[in-house]
Chains A and B, each alone.
Chain A
Amino acid sequence: MAEQPVLEIEHLNTFYKVGLSLTANKARRVQVLKDVSFTVNEGDIVGLVGESGCGKSTLAKSILGIVKDTEGKIINHTKHPQMVFQDPFSSLNPAKTIGWIMEEPLRIRGGMTPEQRRKTVLEMLERVELTADHYDRRPWELSGGQKQRVSIGTALITRPEFVILDEPVSALDVTIQAQILKLLRELKKDFGLSYLFISHDLNVVYQLCNKVLVMKKGEIVEQGLVEDVYNNPQHPYTRQLLIAADA
């Protein structure tokens, strides 16, 4: 089976401006990502690991165009990649109902009647193991795990082929984590998805992913199949992370 790439990153450099203000017109430009290159193929679940603040989320934001100050090539082979955010508490608009939130991507895309949208959302609620009851609920009435299910459902409602998951289970306790990971695996199979899965938890990455990228201070120090990297780490930083995770 020939592997179709869904995302190709070549020599990506990303910068942040710090200290931008009216008085200091000479803003400092800090390089956050250094020469990042990798490919996500169709059906891959690529794990991106590294400690907090190493640039994992910045990489996600660069891919999606939220961060604009980038150099290098980002080739997206799919339309409208979506993202599921880490913090389920700020990822759902508190002023809206779950139904409204999940319908919004369809409303923006257009071409569906309100009944069709409602039907699509109710199906998706079922798909992410929630019920039709949740349609009229407000975000604050849901638990963390339920919110994350809503986020996942909202990201998938327009049927993207590639989804970035930014620490989707980090804020959840372990039993809920396992449920969400199982759901993600099922959804991947059913919808033919590819994921870029960002996490600082190497055990979770091992459970879910087939490939892994190890990032340190904005650089990818090691990448490869999960089995290879975990059994035979080449870079000292990877070894360090693995030891820390086992302990």
Chain B
Amino acid sequence: MDSKTKAKKKFFKGNAFLYIGFVITAAMLAMIIVSFFWTPFNPTEMDTAAKMAGPSSVHLLGTDNLGRDILSRIMKGAGTTFLISVCVVAIGCVCGIIIGSLCGYFGGIADAILTRVCDTITAFPAILLALVIISITGGGTMNVIIVLGILFIPSFARIVRSEYARCRNLNYIESARLMGASSFRIIFVHILPNTMAVLLPAITIGFNNAVLSEASMSFLGIGVKPPAASLGSMLRDAQTYLRNTPWYAISTGIAIALLILGFSLLSEGLQQAARREE
């Protein structure tokens, strides 16, 4: 146990990115988890007596145009944004790993075709493409998750593919083949752990992109539908009353920024830690 805590200390020491990122992310996560069980007020309950109230001891971040408690809405909204982003990254990452590993490991014509398809998709800005598809299929949380998830596949597939193409002919894979290991075993047991060094930063960056994409889409009104709140849709509401309730837009914006900043720093810190280990 002693050596473990020592190792942890060494892990964080001199790595301010990792430390600060960890603290911010932990705080945001704690807030999100609490919001599932408790918020200061019901985030959809309207208090007509206290419309557009400024920050006070009762409503820490004030109320919006309908008299809803902004802190409660941010807590719930951050949770929604977080869950959507996690689902998007999960879809992108899992499908990306499967496609990328098969392409990279086996190569051949299927690889060439799939790589070109991925390149084609990444050639369009993801948000633009998402907007086009969502305006055809219709909005809603589920659609946003699926569309963004699919659009996130190529970025993961590409990274994973290049790692598999690199490892495919290394001696330790060659000898695994000689031992009689199946392709399935080589792909997922022998090579996959070796892709973690590039996959982990990609996941954190992907998460940030997912937060931004979700926020943008909800901001444009094709994401999460009211009365449910996400950080993006709240920012859109806040925009209308920017003059009367500036604290609404500011606190929502800060929530988005903190969510992203925490993960960016965490990602940067992880990469630094990985480099140092080498």
Contact = CB atoms under 8 A, between A and B. Distances in A.
Interface of A: 22, 64, 66, 80, 82-83, 85-87, 90-96, 101, 104-105, 108-109, 151, 154-155, 158
Contacts of A154: 175
B179 A90 contact: no
A108 B179 contact: yes
Interface string B149-183: 00000000000000000000011101111111100
B42 interface: no
A178 B234 CA distance: 73
B192 to A, nearest CB: 8
A83 B171 CA distance: 10
B179 A105 contact: yes
Q: Which 8 residue pairs are nearest across A and B when measured between Cβ atoms?
A: A95-B193, A91-B171, A85-B171, A105-B179, A93-B172, A90-B171, A95-B194, A90-B170
Contact of A93 (B178, B180, B185, B190): B190
B22 to A, nearest CB: 24
Contacts of B176: 93, 104
Main secondary structure of the interface of A (DSSP, over half): loop
A85 B194 contact: no
A91 B194 contact: no
A82 B190 contact: no
Nearest to B174: A66
A95 B193 CA distance: 6
Given A22-B109, A95-B196, A96-B193, A104 B171 contact: no
A124 to B, nearest CB: 14
Contacts, number: 52
Contacts of B177: 66
A82 B109 CA distance: 31
5 contacts: A83-B178, A87-B171, A90-B170, A101-B172, A104-B176
B82 to A, nearest CB: 30
A81 to B, nearest CB: 8
A109 B180 contact: yes
Nearest to A92: B172
A83 B175 CA distance: 7
A82 B178 CA distance: 7
A90 B180 contact: no
Contacts of B198: none
A109 B180 CA distance: 8
A82 B176 CA distance: 10
A74 to B, nearest CB: 15
B112 interface: yes
A154 B112 CA distance: 36
Nearest to B180: A108
Nearest to A164: B178
Q: Which of A80, A105, A155 has the most CB of B within 10 A?
A: A105
Nearest to B190: A93
A155 B178 CA distance: 10
Contacts of B109: 22
Nearest to A82: B178
A31 to B, nearest CB: 21
A80 B172 contact: no
A61 to B, nearest CB: 8
Contacts of A105: 179
Contacts of A85: 171, 174-175
Contact of A22 (B112, B185, B196): B112
